[in-house]
Structure 1
Amino acid sequence: MNRELQLDQQSLVSAWQERLPALMEDGDSFSVQGDAADPSSLLVHFNAAGRQAYSLDFRCTYVDSREVAVSLIDAEEAGRQTDERSDAVQLLAQRYTRQIHECAQALQDLTNP
């Protein structure tokens, strides 16, 4: 059975922009855009609420119509590069990775009809 993603990238971006806010914590913000280098990938940018002003960038790649691979690309604190291994960044990365997986799961009615 072919489980290849059938949805075009722009439709996917729109669906993510609609669904992701419901999964986020108060005060956090995000943006989603297509990855120009890969039509099956999205770039998700999170801004964490709080005084530290962390922002994290992820690549979310559809392995097939049901599964995504998530990788942390970049972490910044107050606009400057920060250590991705710090506890604060790791906690945020885990939370956002979980939210990305939850969003992908919530959109399976679109991606895996």
Structure 2
Amino acid sequence: MDRSLEVDQHKLVSAWQERLPALMDDGDSFSVLADNGDPNSLLIHFNAAGHQGYSLDFRCKYVDSREVAVDLLDVEQSGLHIDERSDAVQQLAQQYSRQIHECAQALQNLTNP
């Protein structure tokens, strides 16, 4: 059975924008954009509250209608690119990656009807 994603990308972005805030920590903010280069991917930008101005960019690619692959694309601190290998950044990246996976699961009624 083919489990390819058959959801309009803009509809998916809207669903993510509605669902993701419920999974996030207070004060954190985010944006979700369609990846114009890949109709099965979303670009998600997080601004971490109180973590020295960290922001992290992820690509969330739907491998199929039930599974996503999450890649950390970029980390900035106060607008400057930084090394993502520090403990603080790794903890944030793991937290946000988990939230992305939770959001994808919560939206399975849309992506895997």
Q: CA RMSD in A?
A: 0.6
Q: Write out per-residue CA displacement over residues 68-101 of structure 1, whole angstroms, 9 at most, x where no aligned residue.
A: 0000000000000011001111000000000000
Structure 2 alignment gaps of length 5 or more = none
Structure 1 alignment gaps of length 5 or more = none
Q: Which residue of 2 aligns with 1:89?
A: 89
Runs of 4+ off more than 3 Å: none
Aligned length, in residue pairs: 113
Opposite residue 17 of structure 1, the aligned amino acid is Q
Structure 2 Cα separation of the partners of residues 70 and 2 of structure 1: 21
Q: Which residue of 1 aligns with 2:103?
A: 103
Q: Write out per-residue CA displacement over residues 32-85 of structure 1, whole angstroms, 9 at most, x where no aligned residue.
A: 000010000000000000050100000000000000000000000000001100
Opposite residue 77 of structure 1, the aligned amino acid is Q
* TM-score, length-scaled by structure 2: 0.99
Query: How far has the Cα of 1:102 moved from its partner?
Result: 0.1
* TM-score, length-scaled by structure 1: 0.99
